[in-house]
């Protein structure tokens, strides 16, 4: 893994551990000589991880849709900033530039991005690891929902592990480094009507 795409809130959140872990993740990426790809904001958890890496001369690539956000939101001190047409182009560019995906705590945008990344993996569009940093059980309701979808027959059991969950950035990065995508991704092959 050379570049890791990090999805994160453009707000810092209410728990100080969110910012602390964002900083730790940035430091761990630096230790491993990995670059960051992210949404390009200078605010919130997004800004915190970017600044942590930039302070140590790390490689930080931002991807921001043109004209969608106020000028003061855009981080102008990045190694590289791509300005793209819209949110769809943003996610496609972030995926193209990255070897892995990690979600820090965030809101609607973060949730949508991480689920699109894991859905693309499920469909075989990419074979990259997707991880959740489950800080103080932030993502526990989401993990429970995924388990419920497995139990309900909507996510094959063998694909449940496509979403790698850890509360510690070191453990998450180690697990992601050894990730092997499932070989039989065709989720419909087990249905009686598909045989």
- Rg, the chain, Cα only: 17
User: What is the residue range of 159's domain?
Assistant: 3-194
**Is-contact 160 147, C-beta < 8 A?**
yes
Determine the straight-line distance between the first and last CA of the chain, rounded to whole angstroms: 38
Domain at 96, CATH number: 3.40.50.450
Strand, helix or coil for residue 149? helix
Distance CA 183, CA 92 (A): 23
Structural contact between residues 15 and 135, judged by C-beta atoms closer than 8 angstroms: yes
Question: Residues 159-186: what's their mean pLDDT?
Answer: 91
Task: Name the domain count of the chain.
Answer: 1
Global confidence as pTM: 0.92
Please state, rounded to an integer, the average pLDDT across all residues of the chain. 92
Confidence of residue 67 (pLDDT cuts 50, 70, 90): confident
């Amino acid at each position: 893994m050379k570049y890791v795409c990090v999805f994160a809130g453009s707000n810092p959140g209410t728990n100080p551990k969110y910012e602390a872990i964002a900083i730790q993740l940035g430091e761990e990426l630096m230790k491993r000589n990995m670059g960051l790809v992210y949404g390009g904001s200078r605010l919130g958890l997004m800004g915190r991880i970017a600044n942590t890496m930039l302070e140590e001369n790390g490689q930080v690539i931002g991807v921001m849709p043109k004209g969608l956000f106020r000028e003061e939101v855009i981080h102008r001190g990045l190694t590289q900033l791509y300005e793209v047409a819209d949110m769809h182009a943003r996610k496609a560019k972030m995926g193209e530039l990255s070897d892995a995906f990690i979600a820090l705590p965030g809101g609607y945008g973060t949730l949508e991005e991480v689920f699109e990344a894991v859905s693309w993996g499920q469909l075989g569009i990419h074979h990259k690891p997707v991880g959740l940093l489950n800080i103080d059980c932030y993502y526990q309701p989401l993990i429970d929902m995924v388990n419920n979808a497995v139990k309900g027959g909507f996510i094959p059991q063998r694909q449940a592990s496509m979403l790698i969950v850890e509360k510690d950035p070191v453990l998450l990065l180690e697990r992601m480094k050894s990730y092997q995508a499932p070989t039989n991704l065709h989720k419909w092959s087990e249905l009686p009507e598909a045989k």
